[in-house]
A and B are shown apart, each in its own frame.
Chain A
Amino acid sequence: MDYRKRRILKILLFIAAIAAVLAAVLWNLPERQAESSGFAMDTLISVKLYGGKDPEASLTPVISLFSDTEQTISRYDADSDISKLNRGETLAPEEWFMTLLEKNLEIREETEGLFDPACGPLVDLWNIGSGSERVPEASEIADALEQISGSSILISGDTVSFGPGTIADLGASGKGAVLDRIRGYLEGTDLRGAVVSAGGSVLLYGSRKGKRPFTVAVRDPDGGVSDYLGILKLSGCFVSTSGDYERYFTAGGKRYHHILSAKDGCPADTGLRSVTVVCEDGALSDILSTAVFLSGKERGLRLLEAHQAEGVLVSDDGTVTVTQGLSSRFDLTADGYTLKIYEGIHETR
């Protein structure tokens, strides 16, 4: 090779080296992001926004959706829509609230009343998480169940009213509902991605630079808060979990958790320790995690299938059942569990 050719080759190599270094550095430069955490809807909230020209500017609109949703569905706010409806008023609420009620009613029907948004009397009776909880008398539970079975939510056009004695409590779907509203807002921004959590309910929106998909740790029902059952790798969806370890109290040596069945009025005892649901609708993922927990494994898996939702179900015998769609997206990391893939209804026959 003559001198000139070698010289050109050297220059080219030098340019390539510089370009490679610059590309690597640019690729690794952190993108713009904004983060906030605080308390709303009786739980811990966390907002992480990635990319776009000014992610900071989107924090306030996102956080205000939490307070707005809380003001609409909180039973502890006498001026909220739900309080007015529970008092017997007829309202023409916002569209998202109507949709939320409709989703609740749909699952009530599908679970034949195991899951019931009109479970207010039962929630008040047990009062779990208040510090003044107790095991109610059988007669008190019977009264609450009678009140629930006689309740009605009447939707007519764009107005809604509750029948006499109906006390709705949207605690099992409120967090998912606010995440649905936040996704709607994010879609109108230039943000690349976002991770928003309300308690254990999570919205994964878009993606973040150089890291795709997002990772969501599923809490180990037997461990502490830092102990994970496994990791889900997901993007563009909602994740919600219901577990018997989250809110509970102990009386007479027995543990009573907060997921109450509207059939017998007691904490559900279906052999499940926790249910994680992944789907493309926030309120539905929230409702389904509770409804599957109440329904038990077999019926619960069918419920998930009916809604094209995926799930991770932890049974009290240590079996972790993962639906087909998550089989390559879930890594079981905790010891002492056995992983099973659920491939569809035909598998259980």
Chain B
Amino acid sequence: MKRGDLVILVSVLLLAGLLYLPLLLSGSGRKAEILVEGKVTESIDLLAVTGEYTISVPGSEILVRPGEIGYLCSDCPNEDCVRFGMLSRPGSTASCIPNHTMIRILAGKDTDGPDAVTY
């Protein structure tokens, strides 16, 4: 193999690598979002959380811990939103329907979570 061939080979591989980089990077982290009335009000990388804290949304308190997030308490009947428990899996959601709030963990890559959940 000549030097010229090697340059071409390396540049093709580099080009491929560069084009794939954004796809590879998009899958890192475990991003959670809090939505009020369908609009995202908070966005948290759960893997970067070190301590434990709460976030207030209309009608409920949301607990954030390293790697997980969930409703802590709520003023809604039955506290159905609290029954969802702590979410950690990409693609999972919890919602407080009376207060129109929702927590979801984004599926980083397509392979991370199902397209839908039936319950």
Contacts and interface: CB of A to CB of B under 8 A. Distances in A.
A201 interface: yes
B94 A225 contact: yes
Nearest to B4: A10
Interface in B1-51: 5, 8-9, 12, 15-16, 19-20, 23, 35, 37-38
A276 B116 CA distance: 13
Contacts of B85: 224-226
B107 to A, nearest CB: 11
Q: Is the interface of A mostly helix, strand, loop or mixed?
A: strand
B119 A200 contact: yes
B118 A200 contact: yes
Interface in B38-73: 38
Given A204-B116, A217-B114, A37 B104 contact: yes
A276 B97 contact: no
B114 A21 contact: no
Contact of B117 (A25, A36, A37, A219): A219
Nearest to B84: A225
B38 to A, nearest CB: 3
Interface string A20-58: 010011001000000011110011101010000000000
Nearest to A289: B118
A36 B91 CA distance: 14
A204 B38 CA distance: 22
Most chain-A Cβ atoms within 10 A of its Cβ — which of B85, B102, B116?
B116
Contacts of B97: 39, 42-44
Interface string B76-119: 11101000110111011111010010101000001001111111
For chain A, give the interface size range.
35 or more
B84 A217 contact: no
A141 interface: no
B12 A17 contact: yes
Contacts of B118: 200-202, 216-219, 232, 239-241, 276
B78 A129 contact: yes
B16 A21 contact: yes
A215 interface: yes
A231 B77 contact: no
B119 A131 contact: no
Nearest to A247: B80
B38 A37 contact: yes
Given A231-B114, A239-B118, A241-B118, A249 B38 contact: no
A195 interface: yes
Interface in A286-300: none
A224 B89 CA distance: 11
19 contacts: A17-B12, A25-B19, A37-B104, A39-B37, A39-B38, A44-B102, A48-B115, A195-B116, A201-B118, A214-B116, A215-B115, A215-B116, A217-B113, A226-B85, A226-B89, A226-B92, A231-B114, A240-B118, A241-B119
Interface of A: 10, 14, 17-18, 21, 24-25, 28, 36-39, 42-44, 46, 48, 129-132, 195, 197, 199-202, 204, 211, 214-219, 224-226, 228, 231-232, 239-241, 243, 246-247, 249, 276
Interface of B: 5, 8-9, 12, 15-16, 19-20, 23, 35, 37-38, 76-78, 80, 84-85, 87-89, 91-95, 97, 100, 102, 104, 110, 113-119
